[in-house]
Amino acid sequence: MHVQVIGVPIDLGANRRGVDMGPSAMRYAGLHTALAHLGHTVTDAGNLVVPDPEASDPGDPRARYLPQIVAVCQELRELVAGAAGAGSFPLVLGGDHSLSVGTVSGIRRVFPNTGVIWLDAHGDFNTPETTPSGNVHGMSLAAVLGIGAAELVACMEGRALRPEQAVIIGVRDLDPGERELLRRSGVRVFTMQEVDRHGLPSVMEQAIALLRRHVDSIHLSLDLDVFEPDLAPGVGTPKPGGLTYREGHLAMEMIAEQGNLVSMELVEVNPILDEANRTAQLAVDMARSALGARVL
């Protein structure tokens, strides 16, 4: 297929600098060549222009840099919708996880019945009322479901997901208010405890079966902090006890087998904190598996 790469060097949603260099790090790790070797045609649309935090007013401390983030998400929405509408597969490189509002909104404009698999150590389900940090990258999934800051929710253009159209896998770190909001939301959350107890294959089978009943296509949002920090050191908010290398590949392979993946994003790669670009290389490896790489 034709893969359209879109870089979003945004770190306005996080509290540590560096994820703005994530798109370049993944390109440097050989993303284009890796996907071309699978038989895909790859076009790179370059990077969106994102304002620097130093030159921007953070505004409301409960949702820092919110107007700037909304503007980036609106532009990304148009690029993703344009790529998907032209028959391409949008592959978005981040950047912090706040960009997901733009990706999901754009793909749902073209494929309205798209659900989300959210692989992340965190729930990203805060709102300005529950957040302990004011970091918008911790509010993105809530906004995708129509919960939270009105300006961010408006980016969804009335196409917010229903709770049964999203699953979160790999969670092991939730804020108190976020935890309660998730419990009330109806979103299915597969914590690392469930991965440990039942195994990653069982968790993926359950997640995919749940979504299959409610959606026609899938968007995959992969935050690299879902992995064990020893495997992915280059992330801003590492949390011990994450997925292993093989569990990551298996998750990607099981998603690819469904044949209905229509978009993907790789987020929170921070080269400043990385070791020899290992985390960016891991992201490229996961993209290969999600887009069809097989051992045999």
Q: Residue 198: give its domain's CATH number.
A: 3.40.800.10
Q: Which of 225, 228, 265, 285 is catalytic?
A: 225
Q: Which of 11, 120, 178, 265 is catalytic?
A: 120
Phi-psi region at 141: left, alpha or beta (left = phi > 0; alpha = psi -120 to 50) = alpha
173 is an active site residue: no
- Rounded to an integer, the average pLDDT of 122-150 is 98
234, with CB counted inside 10 A (0-12, 13-18, 19+), is: buried
In a domain, 116, yes or no: yes
Q: Is residue 78 over pLDDT 90? A: yes
DSSP-H helix ranges across 94-175: 100-110, 140-144, 150-154
122 is an active site residue: yes
With pLDDT > 90 as the criterion, what percentage of the chain qualifies? 98
| Residue 296 pLDDT class (50, 70, 90 cuts) | confident
Q: What is the pTM of this model?
A: 0.98
In a domain, 295, yes or no: no
Q: Which of 11, 20, 122, 265 is catalytic?
A: 122
Mean pLDDT rounded to a whole number for the chain? 97
Domain span including residue 9: 2-290
Q: What angle do CA 154, 78, 18 make, to 5 degrees?
A: 85
124 is an active site residue: yes
**260 and 218 Cβ atoms separated by less than 8 Å:** yes
In a domain, 32, yes or no: yes
pLDDT in the model for residue 276? 97
Question: How many domains is the chain built from?
Answer: 1
137 is an active site residue: yes
pLDDT digits (tens, 9 = 90+) for 153-197: 999 999 999 999 999 999 999 999 999 999 999 999 999 999 999
40 is an active site residue: no
**278 and 234 Cβ atoms separated by less than 8 Å:** yes
In a domain, 296, yes or no: no
Phi-psi region at 217: left, alpha or beta (left = phi > 0; alpha = psi -120 to 50) = beta
Q: Which of 11, 20, 96, 97 is catalytic?
A: 97
Alpha-carbon distance of 171 to 187, in angstroms, equals 13
In a domain, 162, yes or no: yes
For residue 37, give both structure tokens: 């070797």
Residue 219, beta-bridge partner list: 116, 263
pLDDT in the model for residue 143? 98
Alpha-carbon distance of 34 to 264, in angstroms, equals 16
Query: Would you call the peptide bond into 95 cis, given omega within 30 degrees of 0 as the criterion?
Result: yes
Q: What angle do CA 118, 7, 188 make, to 5 degrees?
A: 5
- Rounded to an integer, the average pLDDT of 4-26 is 96
**268 and 224 Cβ atoms separated by less than 8 Å:** yes
pLDDT in the model for residue 89? 98
The single-letter DSSP state of residue 40 is -
Q: Is residue 295 over pLDDT 90? A: no
219 is an active site residue: no
Q: Which of 175, 228, 268, 285 is catalytic?
A: 268
pLDDT digits (tens, 9 = 90+) for 240-253: 999 999 999 999 99
In a domain, 95, yes or no: yes
